[in-house]
């Protein structure tokens, strides 16, 4: 086997299969990758300090990325040495963390140029630090939530974009004047912040993010298992995963294609290795089940039984499916997954009417949304503390419009069916914006959501 992964410590899980096809219990092998440095990237940014504080000195922030031949960050704790002329460095040497080190350089008496040398294990790079190279001004700051930095947030101003680093820091170069910063990060509301960038100096602007549903799904690991190999089940599973991902969960599928034949034992071992908060097994085929929806659970697991009842409630009430209740199940995955789990069977593809319904892209998104709402309630969200929205989209003659995309400001998106109706079950209290779009036409509307009530709108 060939491993082309990143530097650092790794654990491989190795199994074997005998002539009869039986698979062994996996063995864990720990190994360490430590490729030598093959390139050093030097990034520099004039730091935002007003003249009255910085005086005639010009502080420069330095960020150094050390990579191997494949472009992967080198292993931790590699010594990086600095030399600068002229100027004064904060550190003469630092140790790498994820291939990166940070330093700073002070240019004295309004000097505009310095020559920097960076060396790591015999590999050396030199660069001219010329602050005239960046004629625009630096707009920087930290994106945070609950006083913790937010990594991977997208920060935009005009045509300049930056993704925050592990310290939540962003660096944008812009012209002086009034600007609007836009910050996007999954699991959080989008933020727009106005700031006035002064001339002849940079500006620091920290940005606080507000999590969706008070961070209910942030960093929660949830797995969706498409049980039957059909494009319909796989599509619904992907939509469940997408809803979870947008709201901050770490969501995974146990398989990604209809031709990907991964056995139940292997999928179960993957689930166990991830230790998820929840597992949704999804199927649209059960030859022993008549037409209608049923959720299954392992008979000794009372918590999973409650979970199954909650998901079943949403499919029946809002999906208008016949209620077959919840039942015990003893499949290999349901027995051995060891987390709160349920097998959801909203109906049988063998039933012509149900199959015709599932052929609708809008209904598949709706079914995924209802299962997503069941997960939300099981994890603690309550309808009486939230608001909801019902609506209908019509044309000028009052006829219902299908296939209209409706996007709410918190990231939820549904598509109208033939009756033109739409329903969002969990919305935050207060003003929210809706975007209706179809075939290039777009309409925006702002409405107020009330606690514990269903707000109705027509457009």
| pLDDT at residue 89, as a whole number | 87
Cα→Cα distances 401→388, 393, 397, 404, 406, Å: 21, 6, 11, 7, 12
Cα–Cα distance between 334 and 174 in angstroms, integer? 55
Judge whether 315 and 302 are in contact, CB under 8 Å.
no
- Total Cβ atoms within 10 A of residue 312: 24
| pLDDT at residue 61, as a whole number | 78
Q: Would you give the end-to-end CA distance of the chain in angstroms?
A: 59
At the second CATH level, the architecture of 137-210 is: Sandwich (2.60)
Assign 3-class secondary structure to 205-254: CCEECCEHHHHCCCCCEEEEEECCCCHHHHHHHHHHHHHHHHCCCEEEEC
Helix (H, G, I), strand (E, B) or coil at 416: coil
Cα–Cα distance between 40 and 103 in angstroms, integer? 14
Judge whether 205 and 234 are in contact, CB under 8 Å.
no
Of 338, 339, 358, 340, nearest to 348 (Cα)? 358
Q: Do 137-210 and 386-459 fold alike per CATH?
A: yes
Beta pairing partners, 194: 180
| pLDDT at residue 238, as a whole number | 94
Domain segments of the chain as ranges: 39-131, 137-210, 215-381, 386-459
pLDDT < 50 regions, the chain:
49-54, 133
| pLDDT at residue 53, as a whole number | 41
CATH of 215-381 among 3.40.630.40, 2.60.260.20, 3.40.50.10580, 3.40.190.10: 3.40.630.40
Cα–Cα distance between 455 and 126 in angstroms, integer? 63
Asked, as a colleague might, if the bond just before 9 is cis with ω within 30 of 0, I would say no
Angle between helices 361-378 and 302-319 (to 10 degrees): 140
What pTM does this model have? 0.74
The reply to whether CATH 2.60.40.10 applies to domain 39-131 is yes
Domain 386-459 fold is: Immunoglobulin-like (2.60.40)
Cα angle, residue 237 at apex, residues 232 and 238 outer, rounded to 5°: 100
């Amino acid at each position: 086997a060939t491993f082309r992964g990143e530097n650092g410590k790794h654990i491989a899980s190795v199994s074997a299969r005998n002539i009869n096809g039986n698979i062994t219990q996996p063995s864990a092998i720990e190994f360490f990758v430590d490729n030598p440095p093959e390139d050093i990237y030097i990034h520099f940014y004039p730091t935002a300090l007003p003249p009255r504080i910085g005086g005639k000195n010009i502080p420069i922030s330095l960020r150094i990325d050390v990579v191997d031949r494949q472009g992967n960050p080198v292993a931790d704790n590699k010594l990086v040495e600095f030399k600068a002329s002229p100027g004064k460095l904060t550190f003469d040497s630092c140790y790498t963390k994820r291939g990166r080190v940070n330093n700073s350089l002070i240019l004295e008496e309004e000097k505009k140029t310095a020559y920097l040398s960076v060396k790591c294990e015999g590999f050396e790079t030199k660069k001219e630090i010329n602050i005239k190279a960046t004629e625009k001004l630096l707009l920087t700051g930290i994106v945070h939530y609950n006083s913790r930095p937010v990594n991977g947030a997208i920060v935009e101003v005009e045509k300049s974009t930056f993704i925050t680093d592990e310290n939540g820091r962003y660096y944008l170069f812009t012209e002086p004047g009034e600007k609007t910063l836009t910050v996007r990060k999954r699991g959080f509301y989008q933020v727009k912040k106005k700031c006035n960038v002064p001339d002849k100096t940079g500006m620091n602007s920290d940005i606080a993010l507000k999590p969706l549903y008070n961070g209910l799904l942030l960093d929660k690991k949830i797995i969706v298992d498409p049980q039957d190999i059909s494009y319909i089940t796989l599509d619904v599973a992907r939509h469940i995963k997408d809803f979870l991902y947008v709201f901050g969960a770490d969501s995974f599928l146990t398989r990604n294609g209809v031709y990907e034949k991964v056995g139940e034992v292997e999928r179960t071992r993957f689930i166990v290795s991830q230790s998820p908060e929840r597992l949704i097994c999804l199927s649209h085929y059960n030859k022993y089940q008549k037409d209608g929806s049923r959720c299954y659970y392992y008979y000794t697991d009372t918590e999973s039984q409650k979970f199954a009842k909650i998901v079943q409630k949403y499919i029946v009430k809002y999906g208008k499916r016949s209620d077959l209740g919840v039942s015990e199940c003893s499949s290999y995955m349901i027995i051995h997954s060891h987390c709160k789990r349920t097998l959801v069977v909203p109906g049988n593809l063998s039933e012509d009417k149900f199959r015709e319904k599932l052929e609708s892209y809008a209904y598949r998104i709706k079914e995924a949304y209802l299962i997503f709402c069941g997960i939300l309630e099981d994890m603690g969200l309550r309808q009486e503390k939230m608001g909801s929205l019902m609506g209908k989209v019509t044309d000028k003659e009052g006829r219902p419009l299908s296939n209209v995309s409706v996007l709410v400001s918190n990231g939820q998106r549904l598509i109208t069916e033939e009756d033109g109706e739409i329903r969002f079950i969990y919305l935050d209290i207060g003003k929210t914006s809706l975007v209706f779009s179809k075939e290039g036409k777009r309409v925006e509307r702002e409405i107020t959501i009330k606690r514990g009530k269903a707000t109705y709108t027509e457009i």
